[in-house]
Structure 1
Amino acid sequence: MARYTGSVCRLCRREGCKLFLKGDRCYSQKCAYTKRPVAPGQHGQGRKKLSEYGVQLREKQKVKRAYGMLEKQFKEYFNVAAGMKGVTGTNMLSLLERRLDNVVYRMGIGESRAQARQFVLHGHILVNGKKVDIPSYRVNVGDQIAVKEKSASLEKFKAIAEQATRPMPKWLEFDPTKLSGAVTAIPERDDIDLTVEEHLIVELYSK
């Protein structure tokens, strides 16, 4: 399956904001965006006024890159959201938040969405007691998410249990001592901390 293999720090610099793609490093002074908050490349420091299309494109790219997806999969989320009742942009972000890899990240089991995705792919995560190794699996209210008992003894998960300090979204519950939690509600727009104007993405795809 195609995936981005370049430097993820370049993505934050390109979008002009922190996408928190490298976990704790993004909160430290080692963060590439903190040290050099300009677009990558020879002409990164040049100021260029974006067109209406350019502004919409940057918002789409920002969300795509934050959740670690390529165009085809991202467009599918938009199409599903457009067919739902309610505001399309909010529906789309809510669907993205309900991805299993994102839920694992939000619970603090993974330092980044990329690491959380790896945990899911490697079969370390259980949903309602059954192994699910599909990162895009959509969780529902009442689903129980946990690290597999055999995996919980690994050092990387022990460290997570001891250092769990990330604020927990109100639509999730998590017990770091048991490495398990639950989905208690559908995430609403106020629950999603991504700084993005999703209506611009809707306008872009509606052309």
Structure 2
Amino acid sequence: MAVNREPILKRCKALGISPMVMGVAKETKRDPNANKRRKVSEYGLQLKEKQKLKFIYGMLEKPFFHYFELAQKMEGQAGANLITLLESRLDNIAFRMGMAMTRREARQLVVHGHFLVNGKRVDIPSYRVRVGDVISLKENSKKSEKFKQIIEATAGRTTPTWLDVDKEKQTAKVTRLPVKEDLDYEIEEHLIVELYSK
């Protein structure tokens, strides 16, 4: 499987997003205005927004486009639906509930079978959770030193309002579907729709 090994801080600077969005508590020391002089075309802006969303959720082009096709078939606006689909992924929820430092780590932990959805083991990072689903850590994983360190490190992280997180029991319940207003980063999703609609 293809893996993006590009340094997170370098990519964050190029896409204009805070490393905190990626779960990295570092800031780049490079000049943020270094490339501002270049005029960006309309296509360039659309491409940047698509690359930003792909990078945040750690996705490659083919699965990302598949999500876009699903979003178009759903009721409502395709851009808003795309964000809802991406936020509803199991690896993203593991990250949001503070059980992983980054989404990359969350993906790996899900693949290794550390998470349960409604009491059943799920090891598919792209698994779509629904309203009412309860995501929890496996009993064996709760005793793991690794998870104790992660929970300590992510103690100050704010959890989204659409997740009812119980840090003591290490569980999270999906109370509603996520929407754009719940995001901790800026995105112009209509530009992605325009890019794919050409």
Structure with bigger RCO (C-alpha 8 Å, 6+ apart): 2
Flag the 1:114–1:21 CA change in 2: closer, same or farther, 3 A: farther
Matched residue count: 197
Q: Is 2:53 the counterpart of 1:54? A: no
Residue-by-residue CA offset, 1:121-177 (whole Å, 9 max, x unaligned): 111111111111110000001111011110111112123344522111111011111
The residue type equivalent to 2:57 in the other structure is: Y
Is the 2:19–2:25 Cα contact (8 Å) retained in structure 1? no
Give distance in 2, aligned partners of 1:77 and 1:22.
20
Q: Is 2:153 the counterpart of 1:180? A: no
1:15 match = 15
2:110 match = 120
Q: Which 4+ runs in 1 deviate beyond 6 A? A: none
Flag the 1:24–1:150 CA change in 2: closer, same or farther, 3 A: same
The residue type equivalent to 1:155 in the other structure is: E
Displacement of 1:22: 5.2
Give distance in 1, aligned partners of 2:22 and 2:84.
22
Give distance in 1, aligned partners of 2:150 and 2:173.
17
Q: Is 2:101 the counterpart of 1:111? A: yes
Give distance in 2, aligned partners of 1:105 and 1:37.
29
Is the 2:90–2:125 Cα contact (8 Å) retained in structure 1? yes
Q: Is 2:184 the counterpart of 1:193? A: yes
Matches within 5 A, 1:29-68: 31-32=27-28, 35-38=29-32, 45=35, 47-68=37-58
Residue-by-residue CA offset, 1:5-57 (whole Å, 9 max, x unaligned): 2212221011122253652423xxxx22xx11448xxxx64721011100100
* Among 113, 116, 129, the residue aligned to 2:119: 129
The residue type equivalent to 1:177 in the other structure is: E
TM-score for both structures, normalised by structure 2? 0.93
Give distance in 2, aligned partners of 1:19 and 1:199.
23
Of stretches 112-121 and 12-21 in structure 1, the one that deviates more from structure 2 is 12-21
Q: Is 2:81 the counterpart of 1:87? A: no
The runs of 5 or more residues in structure 1 that have no matched partner are none
Is the 2:21–2:184 Cα contact (8 Å) retained in structure 1? no
Give distance in 1, aligned partners of 2:68 and 2:170.
32
The residue type equivalent to 1:6 in the other structure is: E
Q: Is 2:160 the counterpart of 1:169? A: yes
1:2 match = 2
Is the 1:21–1:66 Cα contact (8 Å) retained in structure 2? yes
1:144 match = 134
TM-score for both structures, normalised by structure 1? 0.89
